[in-house]
Amino acid sequence: MPETMQLANPAPITTLTEDEILFRDSVRQFADDKIRPLAKEMDEKAVFDHGLIDQFFKLGLMGIEIPEQYGGAGGKFFEAILAVEEFSRADASAGVIVDVQNTLVVNAILRWANEDQKKRYLPKMAADTVGAYALSEAGSGSDAFALQTKAELKGNEFVLNGRKLWITNGKEAGLFILFATVDASKGYKGITAFLIEKDFPGFTVGKKEDKLGIRASSTCELILEDCRVPKDNVLGEIGKGYKIAIETLNEGRIGIGAQMLGVARGAWECAAKYAQERVQFGKPISEFQGIQFQIAQMATEIEAARLMVYNAARMKDAGVNFVKEAAMTKLFTSQVADRVTSLAIEIYGGYGFTKDYPVEKYWRDAKIGKIYEGTSNMQLATIAKLVMGK
């Protein structure tokens, strides 16, 4: 690809340390060599290759922030974000598996679990156990705390009854952070987080959704019928589940931003390359100013999205408040991914509308960015409150 058609550097050197560049490049190479060749087949079959997940663990990418004392890589949140971006550039389903594992489940355990829980679960999550985050229900989406799953204390166990919907990694997960209410009369203050293993009595993974995009990533229903959970598996404190959910999702939104950034990059790279190969009126369409302007606009928006994602991740690692930046990042990157992937299809023309070419998948994968881990309207509501001081 001629230099004039390249995005300067997929991650500007001035924003990364030497170690981060090496890490990013190694993850990118793995994604190109191992994930990309399987992406189309996994999408068509709506099944993620389990052998890839095994490799994710072997590479240390499922426990990036887990301290070395628990068998993890002892890395930073920023490195997890780089991994999500590079995986999503090849396949958004791969990106979200690593994203949920690191930015939601591991992050929540690191912050809220007691030492016994960390010793029990973090080594497993670093070695071979996929995690899932179970908050949503049929009647509680954006209104997350309208959940109806109930937990009743009986002796040394909680007995849980209810159903969860749209749970990412549901099929592959061995450990679930699941939210239920111990006292509905207290509203959101009755919500409690539990660490639930897939083989706990009364716990079942139900229907797997047939989705528009990220089809290889499993999105499942969870069924709890007198599910017995040891009292020791309460995450944090009883009644503090709402706080765990809110604060963990703030971090997760940066992860979704990285996923959408990767999706947009992947689509842009395909479109820029195709524009130089497709000949119309005796010359490549990349020589027409209209196409050049579209590619330039896409590249500019991707660069802006990248800066927002990296800034929010740096703020998280620095321990400063990043709630506004996380909401802005998720809002903007999902918009960029939607626009860029749609334009990529148009640059391909009729070919872009077929499944023989990759851009239609990028567009389908991009759509979820405006929906999960807080819809765009919810992000706008959060941003409005923070910027207006209300």
Q: Looking at residue 339, what is its pLDDT?
A: 98
Query: Is the separation of the CB atoms in 134 and 143 below 8 Å?
Result: no
Q: Is 363 exposed, middle or buried (0-12, 13-18, 19+ CB in 10 A)?
A: buried
Gap between the Cα atoms of 122 and 66, Å rounded: 7
- Phi, psi values for residue 201, rounded to 5°: -60, 135
Q: Looking at residue 389, what is its pLDDT?
A: 82
Cβ neighbours for 296, distance < 8 A, ≥ 6 positions apart: none
Q: Residue count of the chain, please give it.
A: 390
Tokens 């881990």, residue?
373
* In the chain, ranges of CATH 1.20.140.10 domains: 243-388
Tell me which fold the domain 3-130 belongs to.
Butyryl-Coa Dehydrogenase, subunit A; domain 1 (1.10.540)
For the segment 332-380, what is each residue's pLDDT rounded down to a tens digit? 999 999 999 999 999 999 999 999 999 999 999 999 999 999 999 999 9
Q: Looking at residue 222, what is its pLDDT?
A: 98
Cβ neighbours for 124, distance < 8 A, ≥ 6 positions apart: 174, 175
Select the more confidently predicted residue: 389 or 184. Answer: 184
Q: Which amino acid is at 380?
A: L
For the segment 289-343, what is each residue's pLDDT rounded down to a tens digit? 999 999 999 999 999 999 999 999 999 999 999 999 999 999 999 999 999 999 9
> Which tokens is 14 given?
């001035």
Gap between the Cα atoms of 306 and 261, Å rounded: 7
For the segment 200-259, what is each residue's pLDDT rounded down to a tens digit? 999 999 999 999 999 999 999 999 999 999 999 999 999 999 999 999 999 999 999 999
* In the chain, ranges of CATH 1.10.540.10 domains: 3-130
For the segment 139-188, what is each residue's pLDDT rounded down to a tens digit? 988 887 889 999 999 999 999 999 999 999 999 999 999 999 999 999 99
Q: Looking at residue 145, what is its pLDDT?
A: 80
For the segment 266-279, what is each residue's pLDDT rounded down to a tens digit? 999 999 999 999 99
* In the chain, ranges of CATH 2.40.110.10 domains: 132-239
- Of the residues 65, 85, 325, 373, which is catalytic? 373
Q: Which of 103, 75, 99 has the alpha carbon at shortest distance from 86? A: 99
Gap between the Cα atoms of 284 and 290, Å rounded: 12
- 373 counts as catalytic: yes
Q: Is 291 exposed, middle or buried (0-12, 13-18, 19+ CB in 10 A)?
A: buried
Map residue 338 onto helix, strand or coil: helix
- Phi, psi values for residue 198, rounded to 5°: -65, -25
Candidates 1.10.150.20, 1.20.140.10, 3.40.1440.10, 3.40.50.150; CATH matching 243-388: 1.20.140.10
Task: Please give the angle made by the CA atoms of 34, 38 and 44, to the nearest 5 degrees.
Answer: 160
Q: Looking at residue 144, what is its pLDDT?
A: 78
Q: Looking at residue 44, what is its pLDDT?
A: 98
Query: Is the separation of the CB atoms in 31 and 93 below 8 Å?
Result: no
Write the CA distances from 229 to 101, 133, 196, 224, integer angstroms. Answer: 21, 16, 7, 11
Averaged over 111-116, what is the pLDDT? 98
Q: Looking at residue 1, what is its pLDDT?
A: 43
Gap between the Cα atoms of 118 and 114, Å rounded: 6
Enter the pTM of the model. 0.94
Q: Looking at residue 5, what is its pLDDT?
A: 52
Given CATH 3.20.20.70, say whether it is the number of domain 132-239. Answer: no
For the segment 7-16, what is each residue's pLDDT rounded down to a tens digit? 544 444 447 9
Sign of CA dihedral 153, 155, 156, 160: negative
